[in-house]
Homo-oligomer: A and B are copies of this chain.
Amino acid sequence: MSAKQTENYSSKMLTPGEYVQIDAVPWHPFPKEFSEGGIRWKLLHVSPELGAWTAIFDCPARSSFARHIHIGPGEYLLTKGKMEVRGGSEEGGATAHALSYGYEACNARHDKTYFPEASEFYMTFLGPLQFIQENGQPIAVISWQQAQELWLAQIGASK
């Protein structure tokens, strides 16, 4: 009749550390629903409790990500190439040149993220990416969980 007390809620273990040798992990295509021009990714980490995730992206010249909102802050290190955010600096947005750091705030909306040349960036996401229509209507919410499901399907399929 009554709710069940959670047993041992105060006997939790430390979270283990993780290590990923990035070269030993294969690239997989980032879904075409959310990107154009052949973007590939490697999922590096998920934090199920907090809802954070980390990945590295390989972006060919003239590739782009679809319209999205950062649900939670994200931080990137652009290690190679050039990334145009919100139209790039020629249209009032910003153009990042490697080596650079960017902080994308919680609820930042990016109508287009475009790579004029071959680029690579590493990014930590504290929360999901919400892909949207032009009017803001949600298409899909990609949290650590959807990112992990996609990645598992991809690495399973590649065996």
Q: How many copies of this chain?
A: 4
Nearest B-chain residue to A145, judged by Cβ? B107
* B71 and A51 within 8 A (CB): yes
Q: How many residues of A contact B (CB 8 A)?
A: 72
- Whether A97 contacts B138 in the complex (CB less than 8 A), given A10-B43, A73-B47, comes out as no
A118 part of interface (Cβ distance < 8 Å) = no
Q: Which residues of B contact A5 (CB under 8 A)?
A: 19-21, 24
A103 touches B10 (CB 8 A): no
Q: Is A72 an interface residue (CB 8 A)?
A: yes
| A135 at the binding interface (Cβ < 8 Å) | no
Residues of chain B within 8 A of A23, CB atoms compared: 99
Q: List the B residue with the shortest CB-CB distance to A122.
A: B77
Q: Which residue of B lies closest to A1 (CB)?
A: B89
- Within the assembled complex, what's the spacing in Å between the Cα atoms of A96 and B151? 23
List B contacts of A21 (CB < 8 A). Answer: 2-3, 5, 97, 100
Residues of B within 8 A of A77 (CB): 77, 122
